[in-house]
Structure 1
Amino acid sequence: MIRELPEELAKIAKDELNENPERVSEDLMYVKDWIEQQPHLRARKDDQWLVAILRGCKYNFEKVKKKLDLYYTLRTTAPDVTLRHRPLGPDFLNFFRLGTCLLLPKPKDQIYPRVILIRAGVYNPETNNVIDIMCILYYVVQIAIIEDDVASVLGTKIMVDYKGVTLSHFVQATPSVLKKIVAVCQESMPLRLKGSHHVNIPTGVDKIFSLISVFLNEKAKKRLRIYKGCQDLVNDLPKDIVPTEYGGDGGSIAELIENNISKFNEFREWMKQEETFGTDESKRLGKAVKTKAQKSLDGSFRKLDID
């Protein structure tokens, strides 16, 4: 049973995502029936999870099928990204406590996309990899969209802090790694990315952004924000969600780390179940449908889409 949306959020879901409250139960049953008919697919069938997938695909059932299939296929074929660390295992928690990827709090007085903070410069590139952040992000997004309808209806934003990032960090983001990250985040996750905010950018990195912009569509380019200082960032995001280290009132990084770990502990059983899902390619009926994301793993970049 899914949660009933507040009036304002329900209107957004209807107008932007084609959600019809009177048909949601029927739509969920259709998706569950389709999953049951796929012998190769070991997929989660919780209502709140599936409605997040439906919203992420704007209730286009063909897109829903492709996204679900790709999501669980990548669990099997790209475990170096999706299962690099066992959720809540020692390695996972030790890396998480560095604060490389944190879900920021909800603003108190407005409906606003959920914001995820990424701090790549705080990990040691000699002992960890950028894919470790991807692994954390993979589960942070799941928690956000299951726990909070704002995340599945209104979407999420990414705030990236480059303080401490060195050349050793950047060289880890090889073309093959970036392609996998694009495939997992953009095509398989029910993630409505509403923009990205970048601060503390090292000298010369602006040239990298110029290169990346080649792969962005016009909407994505307009939603990419680069700040010279933290004050501009606070002026652009709700102040009560921005960490105190950046001039906001959203609590300290240390507090946010503990809050996020507590949230992971609440979802402990969910995380354990996640390890049981995936695909058995020997049981697949016919050939796998090649999405643009899957092709990108072997081919060239395509334009990054931001909804």
Structure 2
Amino acid sequence: MELLCPPDIFQEGKIREELGEDKDRLINKLKLLKEWIQYNSYLPQGYDETILTTFLRGCKHDLEKTKKKIQTYFIACCTNSEFLGNRIGSLNDDMKATEFISAVMMPRLTPEGYRVIIIKLTDSNVDRFDLVKTYRYISRIADIKVHEDTLIAGEVFVIDASLATTEILAKFLSNTTKKAISLALDMYPVRIKSIHVISSIPFIQNILIVLKTVIKDKLIKRFYFHKSVDKLCDFVPLKCLPGDYGGPQRPLKEINEDWKGKVVGFREKYLQMGGEMRLNGPVPHEFKKVSGDVETEFGVQGSFRKLNLD
């Protein structure tokens, strides 16, 4: 069974129409991107060229935006040790995140061509919940997406925090989350259409007060909060959901096992690309922030504004 089903003919047409894509335009811009990367010789040269198509489409064929996104992606992969470093050597440690979260991309696209991504907290023990491991593991899935999920119109995220406690929420509202979200939005070619948060915690919507510091208002307006999974099918096509969410797909736990295997197997891709990505020269000053230096990125060492969680 395919982990990522490609679009059907109808979906493909919808996707290309939304992206304003035609074959000649795509070929021409891919050629320009390859030449630009060769010219900027400090960037890694041993990359999989498939990702250029993903970045172009994720930036809706805006060439300058694509260049900036690719620069950020390459530089972050090479310099951000906190979330992206030592991809080969840290695999076993990063996989420990699967002891308390599930993270999958659902196989079938929505009619519009959107990929549904589900991230679920599976353990309510706050002492087991590790933010850095969580973000490192999710970034590995994002790497797979960049390489293999090349023709989509956007993403729909489902964050299942049904098991979250106030202690876990407080742990989530940290500078680590701020850095991780900011970096992810800067480096990955995502077109987020909606984010659905499932939680019965009364003040869960207060996270938006915090997220406004790193997320644009346009994206803030795409958040939806649900007290249970029952209402999810009003927003996400049933055919795209796991069996335990009311859909026809396999249970999330089974799909998650496949994705764990996929993440482990993707180690070979890193090896094919020469192990860890390396820059071939100094990083331009405007990209220094992606190294993960909090003081550089946010002006001062600090954390989120504290919320009253009582």
**Shorter-chain TM-score range:** 0.7 to 0.9
1:160 aligns with 2:162: no
Question: Structure 2 CA distance, aligned partners of 1:278 and 1:169?
Answer: 36
Q: Is the 8 A contact 2:244 2:251 kept in 1?
A: yes
Deviations 1:10-32 (A, max 9, x none): 54454433433113233222212
- With normalisation by structure 2, the TM-score equals 0.79
The unaligned stretches of length 5 or more in structure 1 are 302-307
- Report the secondary structure of 1:158's partner residue: strand
Show the 5 A alignment for 1:64-103.
64-83=66-85, 86=88, 89-96=91-98, 98-103=100-105
Q: Is the 8 A contact 1:84 1:132 kept in 2?
A: no
Amino acid aligned to 1:202: I
Q: 1:195 to 1:77 in 2, by over 3 A?
A: same
Q: 1:290 to 1:271 in 2, by over 3 A?
A: closer
In the other structure, the counterpart of 2:308 is: none
Q: 1:169 to 1:260 in 2, by over 3 A?
A: same
Comparing 92-101 and 134-143, the one that deviates more: 92-101
Q: 1:186 to 1:43 in 2, by over 3 A?
A: farther
Q: Is the 8 A contact 1:183 1:296 kept in 2?
A: no
Shift of 1:290: 4.5
Q: Is the 8 A contact 1:162 1:202 kept in 2?
A: no
In the other structure, the counterpart of 1:17 is: 19
- Report the secondary structure of 1:195's partner residue: strand
In the other structure, the counterpart of 1:209 is: 208
In the other structure, the counterpart of 2:149 is: 148
In the other structure, the counterpart of 2:115 is: 114
Q: Is the 8 A contact 1:104 1:117 kept in 2?
A: yes
Question: Structure 1 CA distance, aligned partners of 2:254 and 2:211?
Answer: 33
Question: Structure 1 CA distance, aligned partners of 2:269 and 2:189?
Answer: 17
The unaligned stretches of length 5 or more in structure 2 are 1-5, 303-310
- With normalisation by structure 1, the TM-score equals 0.79
Show the 5 A alignment for 1:1-307.
7-83=9-85, 86=88, 89-96=91-98, 98-107=100-109, 110-120=111-121, 122=123, 124-150=125-151, 153-212=152-211, 217-273=216-272, 275-280=275-280, 283-284=281-282, 287-290=284-287, 297-299=297-299
Comparing 45-54 and 83-92, the one that deviates more: 83-92
- Report the secondary structure of 1:72's partner residue: helix
In the other structure, the counterpart of 1:305 is: none
Comparing 269-278 and 179-188, the one that deviates more: 269-278
Comparing 115-124 and 134-143, the one that deviates more: 115-124
Amino acid aligned to 2:117: I
Amino acid aligned to 1:169: I
Shift of 1:233: 0.9
Comparing 97-106 and 178-187, the one that deviates more: 97-106
Q: Is the 8 A contact 2:86 2:276 kept in 1?
A: no
Question: Structure 2 CA distance, aligned partners of 1:162 and 1:87?
Answer: 30
Deviations 1:110-161 (A, max 9, x none): 35411111123527542442222222221222323433334xx311111011
After superposition, the CA RMSD in angstroms is: 3.3
Aligned length: 292
Shift of 1:260: 1.1
Amino acid aligned to 2:123: V
